[in-house]
Amino acid sequence: MPRRRLTGFVAAAALAGAGAVGAPVADAATARDGSLALATGGQFVLQPVGGGSARRAAGPGVSIVGTSRGGGLVALSSGAGGDVTITTPGGRVIRRFAFGGIVVHSLDISPDGRTLALTAFRNAEPYPGHLFPYLARVDGRDLRRLRTRTRFVYDLRFTPDGGSLVYAGAPSAGTQVGCASLRRVRADGAADAAVYPAGRTPGRPCVVTLALSPGGDGAAFTGDPDPARPSPDGAVRTAAYRVRLSGPSIPALVQRAAYAVAWAPGGGRIAFSTPAGTFYAASSGTPRPVLVSPLSTLSLAWLRRAG
């Protein structure tokens, strides 16, 4: 099975050594775009995009972060044990709960703040051929499987109206997992259709993690341009791309060697984390990366408010 972000629970500790919390490159024009939320070194870190010092906003054990589209709620998890913590953007804990028997892999919150979306695999399957999507109330009740065409879902995000989700789904057989494409499905499991078919033609990388544009008509994602090619030890296989979801489109490269992506609430910028730190660049035209934080992360979200 591809190693991708399923190795993140171990790699997160290594990423902590990529840099200490410090002052980013300031850009006053980005202040309205709030903060980047990074899960790194087992902690939840808030980094103002427009300048200022980062702060650690939650206790140890965090490796996954997700947020509602408006940024009013943040969901955190260590992955193991199915634990989830819901906080304010500033890190104040609202509630904690755990889904027994699963390991959380990704998180998102609906725009109205009522529903939690997650992907997870069972504790009994440390290297499974199945990574299922689930929905639950944001207080942890009513956990249920989301019906999708594929049984291996790396990541998922609510659409702006909250009625559907876009997910990175791959075919699987046993422990062998294929190339993940982007698909859209209604929250009731109906109308599951491809919006970005990966791997069928050159220049269509397989998807690992994703972020939606504010209007829901575009996606940023990390992808593997050549999953079949052997990778040197320690090399970062995934790069960051952007793609339109409204019609046939070849993804545009945003950054080589990227772990995770996030789209600014204002729509004009895409953030991405690399071995050298976390940056943003314009969401159109030629990317000119601006350093936001020296920290690297496998899980990234962009909050409207600075916390």
Q: What pLDDT, on the 0 to 100 scale, is given for residue 230?
A: 60
pLDDT at 19: 34
Structure tokens at 38: 């990074």
Every domain of the chain and the residues it spans:
4-25+36-48+55-303
So what's the pLDDT on residue 137?
Answer: 97
Q: How confident is the model at residue 246 (pLDDT cuts 50, 70, 90)?
A: confident
pLDDT of 293 higher than 70: yes
Contact (CB, 8 A) for 183 and 166: yes
Please report, as a single letter, which amino acid is at residue 182.
L
235: confidence class by pLDDT, cuts 50, 70, 90: low
Tell me how far apart the alpha carbons of residues 288 and 284 are, in angstroms, rounded to a whole number: 10
297 pLDDT band, cuts 50/70/90, is very high
Q: What is the mean pLDDT of the chain?
A: 83
Residue 218: strand pairing partners? 244
3-state class (DSSP) for residue 214: coil
Any idea which of 80-94, 121-135, 148-162, 268-282 has the lowest mean pLDDT?
A: 121-135
Pick the CATH number of 4-25+36-48+55-303 from 1.20.1050.10, 3.40.50.2000, 1.25.40.10, 2.120.10.30: 2.120.10.30
Give residue for tokens 């989700």: 165
Distance separating alpha carbons of residues 199 and 132, to the nearest angstrom? 21
Q: What pLDDT is recorded for position 125?
A: 60
What's this model's pTM, rounded to 2 decimal places? Answer: 0.87
Q: Mean pLDDT, to the nearest integer, of 217-224?
A: 95
**pLDDT score of 24:** 37
242 vs 176: which has the higher pLDDT: 242
Q: Which helix (H) or strand (E) holds 10?
A: helix 8-15
Residue 225 CA to chain centroid, in angstroms?
18
